[in-house]
Amino acid sequence: MAEAAEVAYGPAISLAMQAALDVHTTLTSDLATELSIKRPHQHEQIRRDQVEAALTRMAEAQDEERTRRAELTPSPEQLQRQMAESREAAARSLRGQNGIAPTSE
């Protein structure tokens, strides 16, 4: 049976390696080296899974950032209102500097 397993999966691996694989934890450099030597296909699959997971996390973070920025971006109506308020404040300021009495609005 051990021989059949070695043919199917590759040479036997250490207990530390098996424990790391069982709990799907990040491999230390020594364990990664052992896995790449004894089970290169499984090592490559784990590497691909890690890259895919990282890309997924990056895409999720990008979506969250896009959503956050969209929430903070004023609508066109808000921008128009802010511009009008800014113009009115600037006009009041200029009238005050020039000694012109402000008009009641």
Q: What is the pLDDT along the chain (105 residues), one digit of tens a residue?
A: 656 655 566 677 788 888 888 877 777 888 888 888 888 888 899 899 989 999 999 999 999 999 999 999 999 999 999 999 999 999 998 888 776 665 555
Within-domain flag for 103 = no
Expressed in percent and rounded to 5, the helix, strand and coil fractions of the chain are 75, 0, 25
pTM of the model: 0.54
Structure tokens at 66: 């896009």
Domain range for 85 is: 2-97
Under 8 Å CB-to-CB from 96, ≥6 apart: which residues?
A: 102
| Structural domain count of the chain | 1
**Per-residue confidence (pLDDT) for residue 14, from 0 to 100:** 81
Under 8 Å CB-to-CB from 88, ≥6 apart: which residues?
A: 105
Within-domain flag for 104 = no
